[in-house]
Amino acid sequence: MNQIQPSPKALDLARRVLRIEADAVAALASRIDGDFLAALALILNCHGRVIVSGMGKSGHVARKIAATFASTGTPAYFVHPAEASHGDLGMITRDDVLIALSNSGESVELMAIVPIFKRLGGKLIAMTGNPQSSLAREADAHLDAAVAEEACPLNLAPTASTTAALALGDALAVALLEERGFGAEDFARSHPGGALGRRLLTHVRDVMRDTPPAVSPEAPVADAILEISRGGIGMTAVVSPERQVLGIFTDGDIRRAFEKNLDLRALRVADVMTRNPRTISPDKLAVEAVEIMEHFRVNALPVTDAAGVLVGALNMHDLFKAKVI
């Protein structure tokens, strides 16, 4: 059976699509004006929920905008306009704000529910490609998402217009995030089950080893090597009698001592340890430990309290196991 091969023109067409869509998004920046601020104000002063709605491809974009709002501190959900006409309108209250998406601004399904919502006393934000459309005229704030052309060669399939609407929704969500003072901890609380949540919620104390390897600076190197083996993290902390960290002794220090032809049997740990090592607090995020390890190219860190006292240790394997990396 003959295999179909793509036309040599396919790459040129693909690049054209990306240029058109990039230009469509870039053009939005000059249209961020008072209506955008009015839309922000409506949402910030909303005592209910943000309802996002749209038909067809606009509906898919609306779902994503609602999800982005919800995950960044603005309670929101998607309502299908056709289903709203058959009972789901009961989910919407006068305290809500409705964001309605329609490139033409004439979606029959949306226009069927907009008057009812307006009579209820709710506030309407329209996102359309036509400021003169019926939907735009009904809106308390209109966001102009018009594009010069669709990326489709026929100028028919929603492509650049849906990309522009999606980007405008992201602009709203991020502006709201900033206005609300929504931070990393807030973000993590709404993403507890995924990698983002682990990175933002896992602290060093959650993954560190509570009985870290440690030796005195006066200990023989042979004892330190045994402690490294016991600890299983490729290093041992070197501590004072008060358990303050003075240095670390690692597999690398052993190799360097061999390279210098030093007699390890005659050496104390203080003779070959790495002084003033990088440490981390148990209250820091585990992802900060990753950043330190990667930046300074080390595989393990002693964990110390505010007084520099050793309270734990961790290595890259511990972070991999906790799925922080």
Grade residue 56 by pLDDT with cuts at 50, 70 and 90. very high
Q: Phi and psi at residue 141, in whole multiples of 5°?
A: -150, 135
The answer to whether residues 152 and 290 belong to one domain is: no
Q: Give Cα separations from 126 to 36, 51, 102, 114 (angstroms).
A: 11, 12, 8, 10
Evaluate whether residue 188 is within a structural domain: no
The structure tokens listed for 177 are 């995030």
Residue that has been written with the tokens 């981390």 in this structure:
280
Does residue 198 carry a pLDDT above 90? Answer: no
Contact partners, residue 277, CB within 8 Å, separation at least 6: 237, 245, 247, 248, 301, 302
The answer to whether 72 and 96 have CB atoms below 8 angstroms apart is no
Evaluate whether residue 198 is within a structural domain: no
Task: Look at the chain and report how many structural domains it folds into.
Answer: 2
Please count the helices (runs of H) and the strands (runs of E) in the chain: 15, 11
3-12, 77-86, 309-318, range with greatest mean pLDDT: 309-318
Residue 192 pLDDT: 55
Residue 130 pLDDT: 96
Give the other-Cβ count within 10 Å of 79's Cβ: 22
Residue 280 pLDDT: 97
Percentage with pLDDT > 90 across the chain: 72
- Per-chain mean pLDDT for the chain: 91
Specify the CATH number for the domain of residue 262. Answer: 3.10.580.10
Evaluate whether residue 272 is within a structural domain: yes
Specify the CATH number for the domain of residue 156. Answer: 3.40.50.10490
Task: Give the global pTM.
Answer: 0.67
Does residue 187 carry a pLDDT above 80? Answer: no
Evaluate whether residue 245 is within a structural domain: yes
Evaluate whether residue 193 is within a structural domain: no
Residue 199 pLDDT: 66
Residue that has been written with the tokens 């609306």 in this structure:
62
Evaluate whether residue 189 is within a structural domain: no
The answer to whether residues 25 and 142 belong to one domain is: yes
The answer to whether residues 19 and 61 belong to one domain is: yes
The answer to whether residues 162 and 229 belong to one domain is: no
Alpha carbons within 13 A on the beta-carbon side of 15: 5
The answer to whether residues 150 and 213 belong to one domain is: no
Length of the chain: 325
The answer to whether residues 221 and 79 belong to one domain is: no
Evaluate whether residue 4 is within a structural domain: no
Residue 273 pLDDT: 93
* 119-120-124 Cα angle (round to 5): 80
The answer to whether residues 219 and 171 belong to one domain is: no
Residue 153 pLDDT: 85
The answer to whether residues 268 and 132 belong to one domain is: no
The answer to whether residues 176 and 239 belong to one domain is: no
The answer to whether residues 125 and 215 belong to one domain is: no
The structure tokens listed for 249 are 């002794």
The answer to whether 66 and 78 have CB atoms below 8 angstroms apart is yes
The mean pLDDT of 197-206, rounded to a whole number, is 79
Evaluate whether residue 157 is within a structural domain: yes
The structure tokens listed for 44 are 């910030």
Residues 112-149 have pLDDT tens digits of 999 999 999 999 999 999 999 999 999 999 999 999 99
Among residues 132, 149, 182, which one ends one of the domains? Answer: 182
Residues 253-287 have pLDDT tens digits of 888 888 888 888 888 999 999 999 999 999 999 98
The answer to whether residues 94 and 235 belong to one domain is: no
The answer to whether residues 140 and 284 belong to one domain is: no
The structure tokens listed for 233 are 């993290």
Domain range spanning residue 131? 9-182
